[in-house]
Amino acid sequence: MNNEEFEAAGQQMLKYVIDYHKKIRERRVLPDVKPGFMRKLLPDHAPQTPEKWDQVYKDIERVVMPGVTHWHHPHFYAYFPTANSYPALLADILSDTIACIGFTWASCPSCTELEVIVMDWLAKVLDLPERFLSTSPGFGGGVIQGTASEATLVAVLSARTKFLNRIKEKNPGMEDGVALTKLIAYTSRQSHSSVERAYMIALVKYRILETDEKQSLRGDTLKKAIDEDRAKGLTPFFICATLGTTSSCAFDNCKEIGLVSEQEDIWMHIDAAYAGSSFICPEYRPLLDGVEHADSFNFNPHKWMQVTFDCSTMWVKNSKEISQAFSVEPVYLKHENEGHMPDYRHWHVPLGRRFRSLKLWFVLRLFGVKGLQDIIREDIKLAHKFEDYIRKDPRFEIFGEVIMALVCFRLKGSNEINEKLIKNINDDGRIHMVPSNVDGTFFLRLSVCTTRTKNHDIDFAWKVVSELADNLLKTNN
């Protein structure tokens, strides 16, 4: 493909992108295919000679689209949002064009320096403590990880290294494997499964702690667990608190947990993957109170802040505590300007990294903080509209509290009838949702996932839910 062919194909592809978004309502939200559907549509070997672009273009609709779940369909209410916007798409085009692997400052100075700057911009929008800024007197700063799962793993591994070194200092000659058995970490029952997975990867003991009636982890619960484990000769070293859990969007009490963490000298990480975007709105910023006690904090602009996947922003109080866990210094990666700017390869698991800060920069500039705040507020308003429908219908009940753009609800009655309802909703195909289960209670989740969802879409979602509930209740009676 030469320059002229690329220009023509690019224009065709851009038109396809625009048409896809304009006509997305015409598509079925959830694909109606069976496993293995694509093997019947493609040959069993790669082509030996080049094909024409037109052949590839035709296969977008013939091969790819039949199996696509349309996350940006206005009737997609499953999981949490995955952001998508034209500014972010433009930035990804530029990132792919530059195609740098920004593992050190020297490998692409602009890749590093723009990331430092936009992470400080966003930290100020969130009103994070000064110690998280790259301009602070200490060693704070921000880094863009791929996902919240990566951010949590980086925090766990960094804390593990820090506390293993402490144990070995107090016990000269102790082997790493023995020291590792002394460590124990904590999280709540409502935290994302990636937290437990991070502990498993790090090979550390962990405890899953109980939450209160609002599914919130409290400080006294953490303190009790720490006291119990210290009495057993263990070394508590890490707590992951969650703001906006996946199951029900519950919020751990970070102020209480943070105070305990400081008093007990353990690493506190805050995972606000979904809800973190809302903290750019002053009315929701109090939900982040307690971050001043945290050693690390992350959220995903690629969920709710119009930045395409992947872009998970993470801030740390002391980057040296991260780099000591990941720093390896081969001669071919050294450069004469080391120490003046971050070499981000020391801040995460992979060595290579894309120019992800471009899309955060484009989005912040082309939407402005106010534009992003307006989107978040509108999504939350739509969620409350659906909540009103539920509360006014005596057949249904709300599970938990509607704080963000997620509504957890259920038919009054057994788990079994709610399991049937969610199956009927997704089999029907007009809207798509997923369920959850907390403390043995099965419920449905409606998450406002795209800026294309409007008031009339919420009306339609309620119409579908109500109609299918009617049919189910009549059948059961």
pTM of the entire predicted model: 0.91
- Residue-range domain boundaries for the chain: 3-82, 101-353
Q: At what angle do helices 415-428 and 455-476 cross, to 10 degrees?
A: 130
Cα four-point dihedral sign 280, 281, 287, 291: positive
Question: Around Cβ 292, how many Cβ atoms within 10 Å?
Answer: 16
**CA–CA distance, 186 with 366 (Å, rounded to integer):** 40
pLDDT at residue 330 in the model = 64
Q: What is the pLDDT along the chain (477 residues), one digit of tens a residue?
A: 899 999 999 999 999 999 999 999 999 999 989 999 999 999 999 999 999 999 999 999 999 999 999 999 999 999 898 899 999 999 999 999 988 888 886 788 888 999 999 999 999 999 999 999 998 888 999 999 999 989 999 999 999 999 888 888 888 877 778 888 899 999 998 888 889 999 998 889 999 999 998 999 999 999 999 999 999 999 999 999 999 999 999 999 999 999 999 999 999 999 999 999 999 999 999 999 999 999 999 999 999 999 999 999 999 999 888 887 767 766 666 767 666 677 777 778 877 888 899 999 999 999 999 999 999 999 999 999 999 999 999 999 999 999 999 999 999 999 999 999 999 999 998 999 999 999 899 999 999 999 999 999 999 999 999 999 999 998 877
Q: List Cα–Cα distances, 3 to 10, 13, 14, 21, in angstroms.
A: 10, 15, 16, 27
- Four-point Cα dihedral 219, 225, 228, 233, nearest 10: -110
- Please report where in the chains the tokens 């689209």 appear, as a residue: 65
Strands (E), 45-169: 141-145
Q: 443, 437, 447, 446: which is closest to 412 by C-alpha?
A: 443
| DSSP per-residue string spanning 108-166 | -HHHHHHHHHHHHHHHHHTT--GGGSTTSSSB-EEEEES-HHHHHHHHHHHHHHHHHHH
Cα–Cα–Cα angle for 214, 71, 97, nearest 5°? Answer: 120
Pair of tokens at residue 180: 């590792």
What CATH code is assigned to 101-353?
A: 3.40.640.10
381: Cα separation from own chain's centroid: 22
| Preceding amide of 310 cis, omega within 30 | yes
For residue 386, what are its two tokens?
């659906």
Residue 439: strand, helix, or coil: coil
Q: How deeply is 328 buried, as exposed, middle or buried, from its count of CB atoms within 10 A (0-12, 13-18, 19+)?
A: exposed
- Calpha distance 92→307 (Å, rounded): 10
DSSP string, 364-404: HHHHHHHHHHHHHHHHHHHHHHHHHHHHH-TTEEE-S---S
Q: Alpha-carbon dihedral of residues 46, 47, 50, 54, nearest 10 degrees?
A: -90
| Consecutive H or E run containing 49 | none
Among 296, 188, 163, residue whose Cα is nearest residue 242: 188
CATH of domain 3-82: 1.20.1340.10
Q: What is the DSSP letter of 450?
A: -
pLDDT, residue 100, reads 85
Q: State the distance between the two ends of the chain, measured CA to CA, in whole angstroms.
A: 64
